[in-house]
Amino acid sequence: MRLVVDLNRCQGYAQCAFLAPDVFAMHGDEALLYDPHAEEERREDVARAVAACPVQAIVVDADDRDETPRAVREATGER
């Protein structure tokens, strides 16, 4: 599965790292590291993390389409 975290939204609450530790990890107090190509077996954990994120920063591309989701463009665009 492909996923992206909109780092402009992410506030480092770490709910995702708690619920899906194989996919998300906090680096220091605020920086979030994550696997943008998480294994399919992690989908349930990721779904919990998506639901728990207080700012809806996690977007999962359920269809695995080739199009780049809008959130990816936003997250990777210039800041």
Would you tell me which residues interact with ligand SF4 (CB under 6 A)? 5, 10-16, 24, 32, 53, 55, 57-58
- The 3 state secondary structure assigned to 7-61 is CCCCCCCCHHHHHCCCCEEEECCCEEEECCCCCHHHHHHHHHHHHHCCCCCEEEE
Nearer to ligand SF4, 12 or 69 (CB): 12
Which C-beta is closer to ligand SF4: that of 1 or that of 15?
Answer: 15
- To ligand SF4, the closest distance from the beta carbon of 12 in angstroms equals 5
Q: Give me the least distance between CB of 5 and ligand SF4, in Å please.
A: 5
| Comparison of 11 and 68: residue with beta carbon closer to ligand SF4 | 11
Q: Which residues contact 7 (CB under 8 A, 6 or more apart)?
A: 32, 57, 75
Question: How near is the Cβ of 55 to ligand SF4 at its closest, in Å?
Answer: 5
